[in-house]
Structure 1
């Protein structure tokens, strides 16, 4: 096992590393990033991949067009990852490369622009309060995941896509199965996905004939002939937005609430001005939230990998043609260079250049929507229920692709 001297003590630079106390994990991330820009890992699926530890190196890679995802999309390569990627995810836009990716992204960005997201913020506030009313009527304790954190982003993505209110229950049921690769049988996942795809294709066809003020209408009726999209192109966009648009966002909302409840000093700051503090709180939750609630942390995570199309030198390190590389956001967000005192959960940070939502052409397309939902979801909860408290430990599904919090029991 390799070690290095940091502040007069020996710190292991082994990577990945097993669960250790959070403070030790922070020391390890600093030492690893100081020693080398990346480490080769052997994944449970797909073989070897380089994991990048440094924020600057990660940004360099993400801005380099010589790294692509086409071999994963075509099935030429198995995605080197911690779980087996569902096939439907490999048909989505996140596995596309420029120039096709650029075309798709440009069209979708028109519909998920900060301006449109700002316009639907009031409806998010209204629905968040509706959910809080229902929780109060139901009575404590509640599972915040089921009763609040999932329902809010599902409503917002349904609004954005144009799913009619009467179809929301079945839309949520089908959508909830999209990433349940570990706790549903393959047959159940396929059945739910098939029903979702059939439903969405019907909705796309209707929006071509009867356009409305929603994302599917925008995509189905693109005005520029060169930018027109086929149904086969629109469907993967919708699927990606559904998956990223509620599953991850719900998890971040729970992480944010959990982080504040486990850090009373930060909760006190937040409660003094929930709306004013929500933007910087959300960025800190994205950067450090899971670390702020964990007693132990294991080293080794990653965003979706890329493949080098030729030999590339990054930060003095050679990546050979055909080798896979990914960003470990936990490492890059805690490499000791991007923010001061990065091991501390501090919701007042005004500058927070984390890579949790990636960067460059693959920066999360729904980031404006996700940020708004997180800000509204966390702020409205604490404004209405400032005495909210944990009623037990959070339960995390470690077998799932995104390792979501599946139970967060709270009272008030």
Structure 2
């Protein structure tokens, strides 16, 4: 068997774990690709989600220990099948039967090994998402083998994480807010980017419907250029949103983000659509970002996102992992925030999604998730096994 040399720079800070505890050899990998129609589309400024797709993966070691991961595949929904094929045809053969000292080492190996394929194919996002999902599965396997929740592998992890309700659409904002409130949320994120007049009315009505202990955020989903973003932020600032998320395209030059930062009093949030570690480092070093939002199943997995999260918290930023997928992604996001800490919240989509609700069954109370102590991810394993075995 091939042994990959350890790379300490990508290994998160573990609590009293030796090399044997976190070593891994993957013997088998499986994927299940799912999709379901939804009665009410999930609306964003760039389009509508008419289906809820999901791509879950399961790995096993030679002793039969299992680990579960999820690959981001929301938009377009047809991309789930493509990512499943990428895993089966290009990635699984690179790791099956190979020994790694840790999941982080597996992540580092794949990131390096697949760089040429990223360049050649242009599929930077899809390949990064496959690596991220596999990384989550590796950490899940390690934790299940140790009979611990993933967060308990790390020092200073919390058992309670604040949470907020997201994905609140412009057409039914108050109804979604009330439904989320009944589920135990007290912080809510409203989508904008549907015309400044409509947005301003929605934001005003939404803000005035908050109870005294509640706050809200605004998500534009990359809707505007700088001029329109500045205009919108001037209109919205009187309502005191906690942050303004992705007002411009995620890959716009730093100078444009800095222009927004110096011209608005609303904190800026971004990160779910950053393509690599360098993008996070640039945003942090340029100091325009206030809320850092990587998606654990879209880029980085737990390995990469723990590193970024700790850097963000050390820089005094709010760390709020993004999540808009199935139950495995949400469980990984909650464990991530519990490990990193800080003043941030985990995102929970307020729109129906059977691949989330049946797998992640824990509910919010007084704006927080009190995480269970079951091994690995905080998921209903029997429900996931059923998806793989039917």
Considering the TM-score relative to the shorter chain, is it more than 0.5? no
Structure having greater relative contact order (Cα 8 Å, sep ≥ 6): 1
Which one has a larger percent strand, Structure 1 or Structure 2?
2
Which one has a larger percent helix, Structure 1 or Structure 2?
1
